[in-house]
Amino acid sequence: MLRLIASAILAAALASAASAQEAHLRGVSAFAEKTTYSRGFEKFIERVNAAGKGVIQITYIGGPKAMPPFEVGNALKNGVVDLANATGAFYTNLMPEADAWKLTQHPMAELRKNGGFDYMATLYAQKMNAVFLARVVDNNPFHLYLNKKIASPDLKGLKLRITPVYRDFFQALGATVVQTAPGEVYTALERGVVDGYGWPITGIFDLGWNERTKYRVDPGFYSAEVSILVNKSVWEKLSDKQQAVLAKAAAEGEAEASAEFVKENAADTERQAKAGIETIKFSPDESKKYLDEAYAAGWAGIIRQSPEHGPKLKSLFSK
Ligand code: 173
């Protein structure tokens, strides 16, 4: 009898030790390590590893050297990695709706209240087996960068490097497009395979594209999105305490993203001018048409790929 009680006590002690064990998660980024669009994720990892000692720790596997960017979504979904830093455009094969984040005209704090976030979160659970932890890039417009001058928003005869972010818009303006990962942009420019590329206002210096860029077209359009996702099955196995460490670091990252990018946008705009990148500006009338076309083509693309969810997202995300 005593032996039975003793072994029951031992078993209980072992079980509680197991649940109190430090969790170890592996995270990958779709962007190069220590560059603009990995920084938010790297800060998140630092926060988790500092606050989560003895509770939860993240191992950073790295960026595109560890995994091709367009495979990150699949790896997260299938549990090959536990955490991912990626933009929706990189996993439209699994969830076309994810590319709609670029079209949000409300801050994340508002989307978390108006149902827009919850609507997307349901899709992430269903299509990505993912929990959307935090958007760590927002308030950061995309631009068209060119090596040939244009006088109006007419892109006929131009071949442009794209991802799904820009496809519908640039094609609507007459461009020919070719999709590449960010890691292939420099070589495409160097070899003259493309006349330009889409990219946000920040980050063109990270991979040296400034050396191969003559013009930036203004205005910028949309709002770049990069977010931290966690595999849902992994999330559900974490204790409340472990989840809380992730949730706190995520909330802090999301809350500071907008203000952080206001600063970075201004700094990179100035740095581009200093690097000799000229700005192509349209008339107020043409600028308005350019932006209207950006949103019209963007939403048409989302709705074409997701007739079921696109219209609802449009109403939740638009002003
Ligand atoms: O690669 C890209 O141009 C792209 O889609 C993107 C999205 C968000 C941030 C940076 C780049």
Choose which residue among 37, 161, 163 to substitute to test ligand 1 binding: the one with the highest number of ligand atoms within 8 A of its C-beta.
Answer: 163
Average pLDDT, the chain: 95
Listed residue (318, 7, 272) closest to 143, CA to CA: 272
Indicate if ligand 1 lies below 6 Å from the C-beta of 164: no
Given a cut of 60, is residue 318 above it in pLDDT?
yes
Q: Which atom of ligand 1 is found nearest the CA of 162?
A: 3
* Closest protein CA for atom 6 of ligand 1: 199
Indicate if ligand 1 lies below 6 Å from the C-beta of 133: no
Indicate if ligand 1 lies below 6 Å from the C-beta of 204: no
Over residues 104-129, the pLDDT tens digits come to: 999 999 999 999 999 999 999 999 99
pLDDT band at 15 (very low <50, low <70, confident <90, very high): very low
Given a cut of 60, is residue 5 above it in pLDDT?
no
Q: Mean of the pLDDT values across residues 163-186?
A: 98
- Give residue 199 CA to ligand 1 midpoint distance, Å: 6
What distance lies between CA 286 and its chain's CA centroid?
29
Q: Are 305 and 241 in contact (CB under 8 A)?
A: no
Q: Does 285 or 16 have the greater pLDDT score? A: 285
Q: Which atom of ligand 1 is found nearest the CA of 199?
A: 3
In DSSP terms, 220 is beta-bridged to none
Write down how long the chain is: 319
